[in-house]
Structure 1
Amino acid sequence: MFVLTIDQVGSRRVGDRVDELLSAFRTLPAAAIGARGVVRPFERTVGDEVQAVVSEATVAVDLALTILRRGGWSVGIGSGPVELPLPPTARAGTGEAFYLARGAVERAKSRVRAVPLSVGGADAAAAADAEAVLVLVAAVAGRRTAAGWEVIDTLGAAGVGARQEDVAMRLGITQQAVSQRLRTALWAEELAARPLAARLLDAAGVDHRHDTAGVDGVGVGSSGIGSSVTR
């Protein structure tokens, strides 16, 4: 399981932006309850902090990168087991993934770097690898121009199977211009790196030093369920 704990940066300076963020997530299908992999949607926990629980690493990656693009938030991801059954709200949950996310967001807040993100995992080495990939992808995204994002956003809004010709027509530019913007934005490279980040997040959820056979000799994987916790 994956817990995302995010904390606002500079709330005393710019004011509380939690309601603004939660409102944005309510219109984002990937972040809504019932959406693929969303176990508990984002909600305010305490102060200017929000938290969510998801069951799929790809969703954790998508949400983390979406939050980082908005700017003004430190992101902590915890990959590990949680106590079951989960309570109705994320803020009431407990388990290793919650503790790992808490430590991760504190590290993210203290970082003197361009990308305020950290990952904690039952497997610390895999968590560090996942963090390295996510930070790199977010750093690349942070250098994109408005023109690059315009093409990427239009491509995403056009849906699965959309072609560059469709984007060019919507934006009133040439297909060559669309292709050039995507190359400059390193969009294909990001798409190639996201699955790697997700696999590393999955791997981070299992402490391989102690990952032995589970109940009745059945091993428990990163998405399996033990007697009282699930990863």
Structure 2
Amino acid sequence: MIVMTVDQRASTTRGDLVPQVLELLARRTHARDGAAVTGLERPFERTVGDEVQAVLAGEDGARLAVDVAADLLRDGGWTVGVGVGAVDQPLPPSSREAAGPAFVRARAAVEQAKGRGSAVPLAVVGSDDEPAATISADAQALLRLLGAVAARRSDAGWEAVDTLAAHTGSNAPQRATAEALGVSEQAVSQRLRTALWAEESATRPLAARLLRAADTAATARDTDDEESVDE
């Protein structure tokens, strides 16, 4: 499974922003009727202090994890740790009560993400054994790249991207975006090119597949280790 542990940055100077981020994450992970989207095993909740945590699973969970990470990195006030692998079963109702390798790795990932080695405060941790370790590192590298692209996007770029997303159901989304913004379609296209929107859109599914592969590899290794202990 995929465990996301998220820690607020500079909480002593910014105050407690957990209630606000939980609202943001609830909108991302729940439908309008309040039902959890597919892939969310346990919803985001405050675990301790200014940390929140959730459990995700499967291909849908991997896609959701990428979207959530992108939201948090865009906000800029959070350190994102992603741990993959097995969890102790049965999974309790609250992630605060859960345990297992994926939870330990999520904690390690948060600490790694706080380091100064990367401008993007995100880390992915899986099994130390190969090929699981390399796959986790690949997923981390791609997610950090997506975070770096978002961090360098201008306000005008975000305006175009957000408005386009709000009009994805229309027959001509870029035209609808241009009308909503009061600019030409050419101007919208230019903003989207500068924002690297097409490149980000094409890369997110790859990041999700890598994260899913990292989870599969780590879980397989954890299962082998558990069977060895039982023997």
TM-score scaled by length of structure 1:
0.86
Aligned equivalent of 1:166: 176
Shift of 1:29: 4.6
Q: Deviations over 1:100-133 (max 9, x none)?
A: 1110011001234320000011311111000000
Matching residue's letter, 2:174 = Q
Matching residue's letter, 1:127 = S
Shift of 1:92: 1.3
> Quick one: distance in 2 between partners of 1:196 and 1:24?
24
Q: Deviations over 1:143-169 (max 9, x none)?
A: 000010011111112234552011111
CA contact (8 A) 1:18 1:49 kept: yes
> Quick one: distance in 2 between partners of 1:179 and 1:102?
41
Q: Report the secondary structure of 2:90's partner residue.
A: coil
> Quick one: distance in 2 between partners of 1:102 and 1:70?
21
CA contact (8 A) 2:85 2:219 kept: no
What is the number of equivalent residue pairs in this alignment? Answer: 216
Aligned equivalent of 2:199: 189
CA contact (8 A) 1:33 1:40 kept: no
Shift of 1:203: 1.5
Shift of 1:33: 5.4
Unmatched runs of 5 consecutive residues or more in structure 2: none
Alignment of 1:89-128 (within 5 A): 89-122=94-127, 123-128=132-137
CA contact (8 A) 1:86 1:93 kept: yes
> Quick one: distance in 2 between partners of 1:46 and 1:212?
26
Q: Report the secondary structure of 2:114's partner residue.
A: helix
Q: Report the secondary structure of 1:74's partner residue.
A: strand
> Quick one: distance in 2 between partners of 1:83 and 1:43?
19
CA contact (8 A) 1:115 1:138 kept: yes
> Quick one: distance in 2 between partners of 1:100 and 1:139?
23
CA contact (8 A) 2:86 2:222 kept: no
Cα 1:33–1:131 change in 2 (3 A) is farther
C-alpha RMSD of the superposition: 2.4
Cα 1:92–1:181 change in 2 (3 A) is same
Shift of 1:208: 7.2
Alignment of 1:15-164 (within 5 A): 15-30=15-30, 34-55=36-57, 56-122=61-127, 123-160=132-169, 163-164=173-174
Q: Report the secondary structure of 1:75's partner residue.
A: strand
Aligned equivalent of 1:218: none
Cα 1:173–1:106 change in 2 (3 A) is same
Matching residue's letter, 1:147 = A
CA contact (8 A) 1:33 1:39 kept: no
Alignment of 1:178-217 (within 5 A): 178-207=188-217
Residue identity over aligned pairs, in percent, reads 53
Runs ≥4 in structure 1, deviation > 6 angstroms?
Answer: none
Cα 1:53–1:84 change in 2 (3 A) is same
Cα 1:201–1:168 change in 2 (3 A) is same
Unmatched runs of 5 consecutive residues or more in structure 1: 215-225
Shift of 1:210: 6.1
Cα 1:29–1:79 change in 2 (3 A) is closer
Shift of 1:25: 2.5
